[in-house]
Structure 1
Amino acid sequence: MALDTYIDLKDVRLTGYVSQGLIALSALESVWGTITDWQGGSSSWSFLAIVLVVPAGVASLLWFRGVTHNAEAIALHGVRTPAQVWRASDPAQRDIPFDERVASPLIRPWQYTLLAMVGCDIFESLLLDTPAYVVFSTLSTLASVGAAGLACYLIFRVSSMQRKFAVPQPRGRRG
């Protein structure tokens, strides 16, 4: 779909790639930590997954700040939530009034799996050295993998959709 208007947008690719990488690394580490837990290993692996969540969260917030800025420029509308960013960024809905646009149906499941992961992480931390620890470690890992997959997909799609609105960059001179 060719758009007739290009908008000067922030390039969110780097923060998107970093976010996706850190999110995936955190989920993989959570899987490894849970496997270690099943084998009676140290809970420090699960703690490392929690530590990796912090830089992933910071990178994701930086990415979200950039795509929110871009979405406001695209839609000329106040944009604050992931659903609003999607609705503003979707070029297929460009001719539909903003309030009638639809967001990705994957945003809510991502939010719920993220909350489930955080809740399980809290219980996991409170139940160290108990038999229930491994149960919550496993549940946290399942939620982590689900949330990571959904987050990486949503980051990729929003970044890709916004690129369709960006001002084309001039290519080097051909001599």
Structure 2
Amino acid sequence: MDTYIELKDVRVTGYVSMGLIALVAAESVWGTINDWQGGSSSWSFLAIMMVIPAGVAFVIWFRSATHNAEAIALHGVRMVSQVWKASDPAQREVPFAQRVASPLIRPWQLTFLAMVLGDVLESLLLDTPLYVVFSTLSTLCAIGAAGLACYVIFRISIMQQRFAVPQRRRG
């Protein structure tokens, strides 16, 4: 018997999100290198401003991924960890409450918050010697958060795609 669930294709919005997130991280690196050389802080400001389109693209992807996760799991899904649990085909037969999300979701969220905090402190300390320190810390967090975010987005998109194509039911 074939199983088929009508799902939204989240690959394109996922790729756009990952690209913009990677661009934010690259811009942050470029701005920090510029800061080390005594350059203008406008590069770092540009990286902060690029977070907005990356955030919008992520929200668009997340809304579609959440819709898909609810269709797959027939369960209320609101958080990234729940989207992961619902989307994981390896856990399809496990009751939803007992499913396990990726252990990388929490570190991604924490590094993102650390990046935002570093950006805020960096902005407040603009003309002080600590500016470069927080700019560097913020950039390191941006690289970590971007890598983890891209991994989570990619994996969820791929897992959901497995549900979108007809597959033979085993057993």
Alignment partner for residue 89 of structure 2, among 83, 88, 91? 91
> Taking CA–CA contacts closer than 8 Å with sequence separation of 6 or more, which of the two structures ends up with the larger relative contact order?
2
- Unmatched 5+ stretches in structure 2: 167-171
The structural deviation recorded for 1:6 is 1.4
After TM superposition, the score normalised by the length of structure 1 is 0.93
Q: How many residues align?
A: 166
Equivalent in the alignment of 1:81: 79
Moved over 4 A (4+): none
Matched, 1:146 2:127: no
Equivalent in the alignment of 1:6: 4
- Specify the code of the residue in structure 2 equivalent to 1:19: S
8 Å CA contact retained: 1:9, 1:167 = no
The residue matched to 1:145 in structure 2 has which SS? helix
Of all paired residues, the percent bearing the same amino acid is 77
Deviations 1:59-93 (A, max 9, x none): 00100000000000000000000000000000000
Matched, 1:123 2:84: no
Give the 3 Å change call, closer, same or farther, for CA 6–65 of structure 1 in structure 2: same
The residue matched to 1:7 in structure 2 has which SS? coil
- Unmatched 5+ stretches in structure 1: 169-175
Alignment RMSD (CA, Å): 1.0
Equivalent in the alignment of 2:28: 30
- Rounded to whole Å, the distance in 2 between the matches of 1:30 and 1:21 is 14
- Rounded to whole Å, the distance in 2 between the matches of 1:98 and 1:13 is 24
